[in-house]
Amino acid sequence: MSDTVAGRSRAAARDRLDAAGASAAGLDVRRALQLGLAAIWLLDGVLQYQSFMFTKAFGQMLAATSPGNPGIVSSPIDWNATLIEHHMVLLNAIFATVQLLLGLGIAYRPTVRLALAASIVWALGVWWFGEGLGGVLSGVADPVNGAPGAAIIYALLAVLLWPSDRPVPSGAPAPFVAAHAVGAQVARALWLGLWGSLAYFALTPANRAPQALHDMIAGMESGEPGWLAALDKHSAALVANQGLAASIVLAIALAIVAVGVYLPAPVAKATLVLALVVAGVIWVVGEAFGTILTGGGTDPNSGPLLALLALAYWPLAAAAKPRADRSLADDRPEGITA
């Protein structure tokens, strides 16, 4: 009896230690990911200072996201684009500075909550007024070119990396970093919704047309350095007239990624690696690094954000172990210890 009690105590203590270790490791990883998000915001801010953003072309670029959207969505976009064209220097300088401050604010520990909260509001505003809701409602959303809009992923990351820990009744550690703030179930549902929507967008008529992917990639060549233009040219040639097949392959890959977080840890890791690879290919080939190298990119686009998101779902080592131990222990009758 005493052995049993002592065994239980030891197991409980070990679980508590494992949970504490997992929690500490999770927090460290979360801070690292917050800094990654801060770096991207800082990059956004600096890019917003480029000379292109102080021209009427910037306002016209924003206005181009309006067509195809419902009136209630497009009217504010048009109004905003006109406003920016009329006051482009002042407003763009404010935009750039705000994004710079968001990056620095997230990186600075005492202001991380304030900056993350502000980044959510800002990102949602940019998603609507700057990206036309990512083309989700206008039917032009393309996962290879930034759908469902990079800005909404900024907001999602800010929520998932929020520096608080949702209490878990069982006391078990969060299985991955993104689960700390909103809980594992909600985090998994958000992941499924995002990557599932990407899989859906890959199969929309506009994206599965024979030359759709080819034309999109080929269109990225202009203004890029020689090596990137050559890469885009060859990639475009590879998918010429293969739009439907490429869309199906991409949709399958995205769907596997979407459900991956519900699978056991080893399989989930494999699907997360797939997510990282997909994000990398999208960023380099489909988004050409957000066209930063042309001098006209406002942000690095969705590739790095998707990669950051995937890392937030990477199973925490210390969390997986006690769960495996617990599943074994749960099978044993009460009172029997190893």
Least Å distance, CB 297 to another protein, is: 9
Q: What is the largest CA-CA distance in the chain?
A: 81
Q: What is the amino acid identity at position 225?
A: P
> Do 187 and 176 meet the contact criterion of CB atoms below 8 Å apart?
yes
Total residues binding another protein (CB under 8 A): 31
Q: Cβ of 71: how many Cβ atoms within 10 Å?
A: 9
Q: How far apart are CA 203 and CA 253, in angstroms?
A: 12
184: closest CA among 13, 270, 320, 313?
313
> Any residues with CB less than 8 A from the CB of 87 and at least 6 apart, and which?
none
Binding residue for another protein, selected from 227, 328, 330, 338, defined by CB under 8 A: 227
Least Å distance, CB 104 to another protein, is: 6
Q: Check binding of 109 to another protein (CB under 8 A).
A: yes
Binding characters for another protein, 162-191, by CB under 8 A (x = yes): ------------------------------
Pick the closer one to another protein by CB: 177 or 199: 177
Q: Check binding of 60 to another protein (CB under 8 A).
A: no
Q: Check binding of 2 to another protein (CB under 8 A).
A: no
Q: Check binding of 35 to another protein (CB under 8 A).
A: yes
Q: Check binding of 159 to another protein (CB under 8 A).
A: no
Q: Check binding of 43 to another protein (CB under 8 A).
A: yes
Q: At what angle do helices 112-125 and 150-160 cross, to 10 degrees?
A: 150
Q: How far apart are CA 89 and CA 93, in angstroms?
A: 6
Pick the closer one to another protein by CB: 286 or 296: 296
CA-based end-to-end distance of the chain: 13
Q: Check binding of 103 to another protein (CB under 8 A).
A: yes
Pick the closer one to another protein by CB: 128 or 289: 289
333 DSSP assignment? P
Q: Check binding of 61 to another protein (CB under 8 A).
A: no
> Do 69 and 140 meet the contact criterion of CB atoms below 8 Å apart?
no
Question: Which residues of this chain interact with another protein, rule CB under 8 A?
Answer: 31, 35, 38-39, 42-43, 46-47, 49-52, 54-55, 89, 93, 100, 103-104, 107-109, 225, 227-228, 289, 292-296
